[in-house]
Amino acid sequence: MKKGILFGGILVAALALLAGFAANHELRPKRAYGFLSYRVNSILDEIKANDAQRAQVNAIKDELFKDGLALKQANRALRKELISQWDSDVVDSAKIHALVNERVEAFRAFASKAADDAVKVHDLLSAEQRAQLKQELEDAHSHD
């Protein structure tokens, strides 16, 4: 059961990483979302997910994507503020630490939500689907 949760977690982490990858390469959010949706739906096709499973997994994907974009926007704002501090005559060390800690906590909350969503995905899938998903992910990452 722990392996099933782990690989469900990998799926959700992969979704989050794909969103981050697409955003980091300055793809427009709509294009990144389309790519992510294609990948998720391809995986759902492979494991023969039913309509209810598809709807729930896609709802999880949508929410994680939205949260990931918000996180990225907040990180951009942090960079601007850090540059502003660098350009000032006197750097406000306490403010920098507070801003960094805020971003760390936001990422921690996002990662915790992704972990919770991984458990939800695990519970949505049958044992056979989880095994198939695990195999798909192992095959995709066998070059590591």
The helix/strand/coil state of 19 is helix
* Residue 17: pLDDT band with limits 50, 70, 90: low
pLDDT band at 16 (very low <50, low <70, confident <90, very high): low
The residue with tokens 């949260």 is 67
Q: Are 49 and 31 in contact (CB under 8 A)?
A: no
CA angle 126, 53, 28 (to 5 degrees): 125
Specify the pLDDT at position 34.
Answer: 93
Whether the CB-CB separation of 106 and 60 falls below 8 Å is answered with no
* 49-107: pLDDT as tens digits: 999 999 999 999 999 999 999 998 899 889 999 999 999 999 999 999 999 999 999 99
Closest among 107, 130, 103, 132 to 119, alpha carbons compared: 130
Query: pLDDT at residue 21 above 80?
Result: no
